[in-house]
Amino acid sequence: MGAGESEMGGVFVVSREESIQQCLALKLEIETLLSGRPVTPEEAEILRVAELKRVEGYQEKYPVAYRDIHIQTRPLRLPYVMTPEDVRKFQENAARSAIEAEYRKQRMAEEQALIRAWAEANPELYREIIERGQAEMRQHAREVNKVWRDKHKDECRWYRQDRRARIRELPSTLTLKEWQEILSFYHYQCVYCGVMSHDLTQDHLVPVVLQGGYTKDNIVPACHSCNSRKGTGYCPFVCAPMPQHVEALIIIKATCLIGYN
């Protein structure tokens, strides 16, 4: 039993370093049996680097499952000694796999050549097939996107508003969580007319064209009608505003730009 191993009821607990060393030793043993000669230090170093990269890739892909301690049902070693017959069969299988891969490669090249020749002989029909396929793909993409947008309206609305603010180099810090808190405070009602809806828009108290940012102290829920009617103007009349909206309303009233534009 290795220095980093301990047995608990038939289960071997090994450290990460010990597990790497076992895997490397196993690969060196297999390479020696297959090549029929001892592995050189240069080849051993290549195998060691490859094993470390494999472990790092596994750790990045499965960060939760990866632990400092590995539990194995048995020590990691060859289950039996490979005989010359086993080595010969392994080499035959590897050669057969290489031949099959080369055949598939040649077959694919032949098929591509036939397709190119047919396309050159029938350009109009080929173009029609390609255009029809592209149109079907675009239609399918539109349908899939529509279904996704219908299920994620808040995310789509947040993305459009955030993008518009960033293009104009305005503050853009509102999060989906903050938007849900604003909706809950106003009980899913329009702040201007009081209509209740679960499809309210995000209205800027200070419009974007007047340097109003996409922040929690400048965004209020509004129905489509009120938002469209307000346009790029001001409206200081908000029913029971949130504390974070009071300052913006005071600034609006101070400008004396009262009422809908």
What's the pLDDT tens digit per position in 199-239? 888 888 888 887 888 888 888 888 888 888 877 766 656 66
Q: What is the mean pLDDT of residues 172-184?
A: 86
pLDDT for res 15 = 60
Across all residues in the chain, what is the average pLDDT? Answer: 76
pLDDT for res 109 = 93
Kindly indicate the confidence band of residue 172, based on its pLDDT and cuts at 50, 70 and 90. confident
Q: Are strands 201-204 and 219-222 parallel, antiparallel or unpaired?
A: antiparallel
Q: Cα(241)–Cα(186) distance, rounded to whole angstroms?
A: 8
CA angle 22, 26, 28 (to 5 degrees): 120
Identify whether the C-beta of residue 182 lies closer than 8 Å to the C-beta of residue 220.
Answer: yes
> Which of residues 245 and 149 earns the better pLDDT score?
149
Q: What is the mean pLDDT of residues 149-155?
A: 84
Q: Cα(204)–Cα(172) distance, rounded to whole angstroms?
A: 12
pLDDT for res 252 = 61
Q: What is the 3-state secondary structure (H, E, C) of the chain?
A: CCCCEEEECCEEEEEHHHHHHHHHHHHHHHHHHHHCCCCCHHHHHHHHHHHHHHHHHHHHHCCCCCCCEEEECCCCCCCCCCCHHHHHHHHHHHHHHHHHHHHHHHHHHHHHHHHHHHHHHCHHHHHHHHHHHHHHHHHHHHHHHHHHHHHCHHHHHHHHHHHHHHHCCCCECCCHHHHHHHHHHCCCECCCCCCECCCCEEEECCCHHHCCCECCCCEEEECHHHHHHHCCCCCCCCCCCCHHHHHHHHHHHHCCCCCCC
Kindly indicate the confidence band of residue 240, based on its pLDDT and cuts at 50, 70 and 90. low
Is the pLDDT at 66 greater than 70? The verdict is no
Is the pLDDT at 156 greater than 80? The verdict is yes
Task: Report the amino acid identity of residue 73.
Answer: T
pLDDT for res 83 = 67
pLDDT in tens, 79-137: 445 667 777 887 888 888 889 999 999 999 999 999 999 999 999 999 999 999 999 99
**Would you state the structure tokens that stand for residue 234, as one six-digit string?**
């001001």
Q: What is the mean pLDDT of residues 66-78?
A: 46
Identify the burial level of 95 via C-beta atoms within 10 angstroms of its C-beta, where 0-12 means exposed, 13-18 middle and 19 or more buried: exposed
What's this model's pTM, rounded to 2 decimal places? 0.43
Q: What is the mean pLDDT of residues 143-161?
A: 86
Side-chain half-sphere CA neighbours of 38 within 13 A: 2
Say how many C-beta atoms besides its own lie within 10 A of residue 245's C-beta: 21
Instruction: List strands edge to edge, sheet with 11-15.
Output: 5-8, 11-15, 69-72
Task: Report the amino acid identity of residue 214.
Answer: Y
Every domain of the chain and the residues it spans: 5-77, 85-147, 170-254
> Which of residues 76 and 234 earns the better pLDDT score?
234
